[in-house]
Amino acid sequence: MAESQKRFLYITVQEASGKSKDQEVLWEPSFTEGFVRVEVRGGPKTIKATTLTQSVQNLAISWKQELRVEVTDESKEMRIMLCKEKPRDATGTRRKTDILAACGIYVKDILEAVPIDKYFELFKPGDSPERALGGFIRVTLRGQSANQGRVPAELARKPTAATQGRAQPSAPADGRKGRGFGRILILCGLAAAVAVAKTLQKK
């Protein structure tokens, strides 16, 4: 693909909350610091990007870090995963990752709906449906072609109740974006836990 035809998604990972809508604690006390891994799947290879590791404070983590991933016509799904680092192996050099919770979003629907500033539900892989929720993560998504000028990613609203575990709705700008955004919520709410569980079984 020519350089001028490359397309990118910019994902600003804002923050995550370890409480449910009913203020139930969802994260284990042993989870003291974590990072976010973003993967775009489809095509010949999986595109990955990772935030820095930050500490958990009052059942919340703040990153406010922007990641960039390339998307192509073959890109199918973007997965956002809340992770922590496992103890290193016997050699002490290889980094091992434990995925605590995640959500999946169709790339096509993201491109139709951007810009997006939204709290998404995270799901724990392998848990029963009744206890699958793994908190909320707030991300800002925007798209850009390689030959476009850089646009500052200052789209985030001031967090309110969602930092305490309440998802904030985001009103679509028009009918087309509203349809795409609705499919995003359907995927995150119904299919993400299954998809992530299958991924972990392969690891």
The number of residues making up the chain comes to 203
> What are the CA-CA distances from residue 98 to residues 6, 75, 112, 124, 168 (Å)?
32, 25, 32, 11, 27
CA distance 169 to 174: 15
Which residues are bridge partners to 82 per DSSP?
36, 101
Q: Check pLDDT > 80 for residue 20.
A: yes
Alpha carbon of residue 85 to chain centroid: 17
Q: What is the per-residue pLDDT across 2-17, written as a single tens digit (0 to 9) for each?
A: 444 788 999 999 999 9
Q: What is the per-residue pLDDT across 106-130, written as a single tens digit (0 to 9) for each?
A: 999 999 999 999 999 999 987 565 5
Q: Check pLDDT > 60 for residue 142.
A: yes
b/e map 22-54, b = 16+ CB within 10 Å: eeeebbeeebeebbbbbbbbbeeeebebbbeeb
What's residue 127's pLDDT?
Answer: 58
- Which residue segments constitute the domains of the chain, with CATH numbers given? 3-202 (2.60.40.150)
pLDDT band at 64 (very low <50, low <70, confident <90, very high): very high
Q: 153 near 165, Cβ under 8 Å?
A: no
